[in-house]
Amino acid sequence: MTDPANYVVAYEATDRGNEAIELGVALARLTAAELRICLVLPRSSAVPAKVPAGASEFDRLLEREAHIWLETALALVPSDVVATTHLLWAESTSEGLLEAAAQFRSDRIVVGAGREGLLHRFAIGSVANALLHVSPVPVALAPRGYRAPEKISRITCAIGTRAGWESLIESMVAISDDLGVDLRFVTLVEVDAVGHRSTPDSAVHLDQVLEHFGRSSTARGAITTEVAEGRSVEAAVEVLDWRADEIAFVGSSRLAQPSTIFLGITAHRMLHVLPVPLIVVPAGEPH
C-alpha cells in the first residue's frame, strides 16, 4: 500500500469524542498515520406518527450542526498530525464506523470508551461495545479524561497462554516497527487465597513469546517481561506500574470468529481498572 496508514476516529461532540481524538493523535504520532475523523449521524428511520416529523428538515439542520461539530473536532488536532473529517449517515454508529474503516482501508478504529464510570477507568459505552463484537480491525479504546502525551514511551502487551496469541504478537511487531518505543510483555495470573497459581508456567510462556517476537521484530526500544499476580485479574493489573504515556495491547477472545473481535472475559475485566488506552486486536486467521 502506498497510502499512509490511517485510523478512523469515532467522533461525537462530547468528552468521549474528544478523548477519541486525543488517542488518535497519540497513535498517529507514534506511527506517522493520518486520522479520518468520522461523525456518524443516524439515518432517519423514525416511525412516522400522526404529526409528520419533518424528517427532511431535521436532517438538514442536523447535518449543518454536524459540520460545526466536525470543525470543532479538527481544531483539536495539533498541526503535526494530518487529519480529514467525514460525515456519514448509517443505521447505527458502529455500522457507520465499520463502513468507513472498510472504505478507507483503515488500520484501526479509535473510540472513546468512557461512560459514567469511575474517573480514568473504563466502563464501555455502547458504540465501543458494539465494535468490540464485530470489528475486523483493531479497536483502540480511550479511557475517560484521556489526553494525548507528547510521545508514547512504552507499549504493554497483555498476553495469555491460550491459542491465538501469535496474531497479537504480529500486531505488536507491526506497531513497533523500527520505533524506539519500550515494549513490555506481561501475563496476568490469578492467585487464589492459599497462593495456588492457576497457570504455573507463565514465565516459561513469556520466554517463548519473546523468542517469537524477536524473530520478526525491528523494534529498537527496551524489551521487558513481567508476570503480574493478584487475587483477580483486576488486582493483577493494579500490581503493574503504568506510565501516563503508555498504551496496552490485548488479544481477542478465542470465542471470536476469525478476523473479528470478541472481547474475552479477562480483557473485559482488565478494562475496568486499566488507566491507559487499550487496543484490542482481532483474532488471527485460523492456521
Partner 1 sequence: MAQTHSPSADPSGGATVTTVGGLSTKGLSAGSVGLLGATVIGISCIAPAYTLTASIGPTAAAVGTQMPGIFLVGFIPMLLVALGYRELNNAMPDAGTSFTWATRAFGPWLGWMGGWGLIVATVVVLSNLAGVAVDFLYLLLAQITGNAELAALTDNVLINITTCLVFIVAACYISYRGMETTKHVQYVLVAFQLLVLVWFSIAAFLQVANDTAFDALAFDAAWFNPFLVPSFSAFAAGVSLSIFIFWGWDVTLTMNEETKDPEHTPGRAATLTVGIIFALYILVAVAALTFSGIGAGELGLGNEEIQGNVFAALAGPIMGPFAILLSLAVLSSSAASLQSTFVGPARTMLAMGHYKAFPARFGTISPRHKSPAFATVMAGIVAWGFYAVMRALSTDVLTDTILTLGMMICFYYGVTAFACVWFFRAEAFTSMRAFLLKFLAPLVGGVILTVIFATTVIDSTNPDYGSGSNIGGVGLVFILAMVLFASGVILMLIQRRLHPEFFTGKTLTKGTSLER
Q: What residues make contact with partner 1 under the rule CB under 8 A?
A: 12-14, 16-17, 36, 41-63, 65-67, 69-71, 74-75, 77, 79-80, 82-90, 96, 99-100, 103
Q: Could you give the C-alpha distances from 98 to 84, 137, 142, in angstroms and in order?
A: 17, 9, 18
Task: Return the number of the residue (42 or 275) whose C-beta is nearest partner 1.
Answer: 42
Q: Shortest Cβ distance from residue 106 to partner 1 (Å)? A: 12
Distances (CA, A) of 89 to 62, 96, 102, 275, 284: 11, 7, 15, 33, 30
Largest interatomic CA distance in the chain: 68
By beta-carbon proximity to partner 1, the closer residue of 103 and 216 is: 103
Nearest residue (CB) to partner 1, 66 versus 131 = 66
> Rounded to the nearest whole angstrom, what is the least distance from the CB of residue 258 to partner 1 in the complex?
26
For partner 1, give the closer residue by CB, 75 or 194.
75
Cβ at position 218, least distance to partner 1 in Å: 27
- The minimum distance between CB 121 and partner 1, in angstroms, equals 20
Our CA angle for 126, 134, 92, nearest 5°, is 50
Q: Least separation, in Å, of the C-beta of 168 and partner 1?
A: 30
* CB closer to partner 1 out of 52 and 258: 52
Label residues 126-154 b or e (16+ Cβ within 10 Å = b).
ebbebbbebbebbbbbbbbebebbeebbb
Tracing cell 527496551 back to the chain, one arrives at 222
Q: Which of residues 115 and 269 has its CB atom nearest to partner 1 in the complex?
A: 115
Nearest approach, Cβ of residue 143 and partner 1 (Å): 18
Across 26-39, b (16+ Cβ under 10 Å) vs e yields bbbbbbebbbbbbb
Closest CA to 226 of 246, 245, 202: 202
Angle 106-111-117 (CA atoms, 0-180°, nearest 5)? 165
Which triple of cell numbers denotes residue 272?
475496568
Give φ, ψ of 150 to 5 degrees. -55, -40
For residue 45 the three cell numbers come to 428511520
Least distance to partner 1 from the beta carbon of 62, Å?
6
Helix axes 165-175, 202-216, angle to 10 degrees: 50
Q: How far is the CB of 31 from partner 1 (least distance, A)?
A: 16
Neighbours of 76 (CB within 10 A): 16
Q: Which is nearer to partner 1, 88 or 235 (CB)?
A: 88
Q: Which is nearer to partner 1, 48 or 286 (CB)?
A: 48
